[in-house]
């Protein structure tokens, strides 16, 4: 039995998890900066990195003590290395490398999006091939998973991400930041028949687009001066359009690739309407991580690290550079 620590600092969550080699989460401690960034209406990168710097060591300490482990018990450090905010990633990577050097622990750089995919494996056993939708504040990607190592990118969004559509929609509706959870909450009291927001029908089979939807919400609000009287219904219809779009592409991909499981990851996978409708459509083939593993967290990074360590146990080089952009693992030929 060995132990890995997952460290996530790519955006506004400082999160650290200790996981054993049986994929059991011994701790998953998260300091969320949402309350700090709320007043700015979005994440301010410089403020985010300063808070990571303040919190990273206390969060590592609390994660170790919750897991009833010492740093000497950790065999591998796994740290998010892109995509993300560069000055935030640097805090996690520099801290991991320093601890690695002092304690002689190998450090593995982990792609944040692969981490989101891996979150689905923490509590579930997955059959292959399977399709995974990663829908977060920065990305909306579909992947074909051949096994627990090969994740092939099928499609992504041409403009806004699904989480961004929720957040920008919430801003127009004056619901504060981040908006996804608030739109989700109000929608439960609204009707999805009140108004029909457009879902783009892109030529490509699997690509997403959300910027037109946000614009149509803005026009709706400008035209209908009493929109606040119907905030629950408007939220519900706006959410319905996002969920429709996500699911229609996911269904197509699941059919095309004869998917045995359909996985949902990223912050938007917390959405209750997406969860309910996906379970109606895909029944027990639909896999959703519990909410704490959907939004950014250290456990998903530890899980992805574990999948890599199972293939390669030694010879890690701790001298890797920090990457802020997405490194796509591979692209499928869809013709």
Cis bond before residue 76 (omega within 30° of 0): no
In the shown chain, the binding pattern of residues 91 to 130 toward Zn ion, with x for contact by CB under 5 A and - for none, equals ----------------------------------------
178 binds, among ligand KG4, Zn ion, none (CB under 5 to 8 A by kind): ligand KG4
Query: Which residues in 8-17 are b (16+ Cβ under 10 Å) and which e?
Result: bbbbbbbbbb
Task: Name the nearest CA neighbour of 5 among 57, 56, 64, 50.
Answer: 64
Which is nearer to ligand KG4, 138 or 298 (by Cβ)?
A: 138
Does 136 help bind Zn ion (rule: CB under 5 A)? yes
Q: What are phi and psi of 305, to 5 degrees?
A: -60, -45
> Dihedral of the CA atoms 193, 177, 243, 239 (nearest 10)?
0
Residue 126 token pair: 């997955």
Does 184 help bind ligand KG4 (rule: CB under 6 A)? yes
Binding region for ligand KG4 (CB under 6 A) out of 22-30, 39-47, 176-184, 191-199: 176-184
* List 82, 138, 169, 298, residue binding ligand KG4 (CB under 6 A): 138
Give the CA angle between residues 5, 27, 162 to the nearest 5°: 85
Task: Name the nearest CA neighbour of 263 among 112, 111, 117.
Answer: 117
166 binds, among ligand KG4, Zn ion, none (CB under 5 to 8 A by kind): ligand KG4
DSSP 12: S
Q: Nearest distance from residue 114's CB to ligand KG4, in Å?
A: 12
Total of chain residues touching ligand KG4, rule CB under 6 A: 19
Q: Where in 295-324 is the site for ligand KG4 (CB under 6 A)?
A: 295-296
Q: Which residues bind ligand KG4 (CB under 6 A)?
A: 11, 136-138, 163, 166-167, 178-181, 184, 266-268, 270-271, 295-296
């Amino acid at each position: 039995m060995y132990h890995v620590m997952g460290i996530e600092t790519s955006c506004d969550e400082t999160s650290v998890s200790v996981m054993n080699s049986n994929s059991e989460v011994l701790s998953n401690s998260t300091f969320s900066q949402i309350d700090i960034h709320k007043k700015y209406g979005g994440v301010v990168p410089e403020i985010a990195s300063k808070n990571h710097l303040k919190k990273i060591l206390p969060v590592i300490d609390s994660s170790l003590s919750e897991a009833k482990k010492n740093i000497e018990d950790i065999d591998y450090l796994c740290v998010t290395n892109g995509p993300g905010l560069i000055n935030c990633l640097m805090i996690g990577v520099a801290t991991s490398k320093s601890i690695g050097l002092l304690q002689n622990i190998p450090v593995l750089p982990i792609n944040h999006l692969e981490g989101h995919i891996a979150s689905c494996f923490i509590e579930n056993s997955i059959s292959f091939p399977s399709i995974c939708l990663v829908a977060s504040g920065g990305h909306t990607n579909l992947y074909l998973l051949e096994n627990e190592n090969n994740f092939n990118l099928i499609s992504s969004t041409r403009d806004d991400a699904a989480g961004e559509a929720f957040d920008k929609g919430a801003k127009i509706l004056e619901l504060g930041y981040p908006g996804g959870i608030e739109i989700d909450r109000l929608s439960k009291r609204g009707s999805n028949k009140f108004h029909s927001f457009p879902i783009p029908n892109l030529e490509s089979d699997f690509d997403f687009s959300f910027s037109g939807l946000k614009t149509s919400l803005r026009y709706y609000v400008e035209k209908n001066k009493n929109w606040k009287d119907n905030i629950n219904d408007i939220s519900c219809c706006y959410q319905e359009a996002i969920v429709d779009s996500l699911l229609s592409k996911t269904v197509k991909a699941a059919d095309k690739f004869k998917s045995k499981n359909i996985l949902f990851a990223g912050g938007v996978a917390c959405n209750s309407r997406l969860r309910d409708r996906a379970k109606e459509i895909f029944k027990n083939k639909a896999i959703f991580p519990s909410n704490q593993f959907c939004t950014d967290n250290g456990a998903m990074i530890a899980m992805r690290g574990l999948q890599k360590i199972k293939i390669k146990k030694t010879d890690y080089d701790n001298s890797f550079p920090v990457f802020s952009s997405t490194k796509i693992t591979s692209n499928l030929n869809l013709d």
